[in-house]
């Protein structure tokens, strides 16, 4: 079924927070418009203070575009949930390549009324060759596996119940949101679906990759054991 942004109350909204993503967002939106789910859904882009043609490209691609002038991922995601008209809100990033089953696989998990959040696993299509196997190996030991921001969803009323997405930090905010959702219901990680996304943060020699990702890993490991962040550093822009 097609994207239909004229529905006042769709069951599903898919939104993309985007900052200066003119090179990649058209491909992502094209993937999101070509889904095999048998119902209409809303497609929303949150333009997060972009200085390029991100917003215009999104409009030309058929998305409803809203602006979030406060730069930062947590502000853009919070705006996406707030603006979403659907009862089920799915977030993905502007550098992903969702296949035709992406929305359907997430949405069908909500047939269980106990489910408040659903995510998938991810893999990088342009990272160094050793990065994906490393992430897959690390997942084995992650006893508190969380949703990735690139493949994150929640019931809108659950988002409200946990106090929203923005809790004052960007780094691993998706994991913290997952932890809070689990306090009020069931969160499903679809383990046999891997969403493709850009690994541009994990490109270069091993020293560069380690430097770009050390805070993410350290914060994520600490949160896995404690349920709280140790760092509130912002994401480093890689555009």
Cβ contact 119:131 at 8 Å:
no
CATH 1.10.260.40 fits 12-226, yes or no: no
Q: Which residues pair with 187 in a beta bridge?
A: 117
**What is the structure's pLDDT at 236?**
67
Sign of CA dihedral 64, 70, 73, 75: negative
Specify the pTM. 0.90
Q: What is the pLDDT of residue 223?
A: 78
| Contact criterion met (CB below 8 Å) for 50 and 18 | yes
Tens-place pLDDT, residues 37-56: 999 999 999 999 999 999 99
Beta-strand ranges (E) seen in the chain are: 12-18, 42-47, 64-67, 88-91, 96-97, 115-124, 152-155, 186-197
111 CB-side CA count, 13 A: 5
């Amino acid at each position: 079924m097609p994207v239909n942004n004229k529905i006042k109350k769709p069951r599903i909204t898919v939104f993309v927070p985007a900052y200066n993503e003119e090179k990649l967002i058209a491909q992502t939106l094209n993937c999101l418009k070509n889904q095999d789910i048998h119902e209409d859904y809303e497609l929303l882009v949150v333009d997060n203070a972009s200085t390029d043609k991100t917003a215009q490209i999104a409009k030309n691609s058929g998305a409803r575009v809203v602006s979030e002038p406060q730069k930062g991922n947590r502000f853009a995601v919070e705006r996406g949930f707030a603006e979403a008209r659907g009862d089920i809100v799915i977030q993905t990033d502007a550098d992903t390549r969702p296949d035709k089953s992406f929305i359907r696989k997430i949405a069908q998990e909500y047939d269980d009324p106990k489910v408040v959040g659903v995510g998938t696993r991810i893999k990088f299509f342009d990272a160094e060759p050793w990065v994906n196997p490393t992430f897959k190996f690390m997942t084995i030991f992650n006893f508190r596996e969380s949703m990735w921001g690139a493949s994150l969803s929640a019931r809108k009323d659950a988002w409200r119940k946990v106090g929203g997405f923005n809790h004052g930090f960007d780094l691993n905010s998706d994991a913290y949101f997952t932890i809070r959702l689990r306090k009020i219901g069931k969160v499903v990680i679809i383990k046999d679906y891997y969403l493709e996304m850009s690994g541009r943060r994990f490109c270069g020699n091993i020293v560069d990759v380690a430097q770009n990702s050390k805070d993410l890993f350290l914060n994520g490991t600490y949160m896995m054991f404690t349920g709280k962040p140790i760092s509130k550093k912002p994401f480093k822009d890689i555009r």
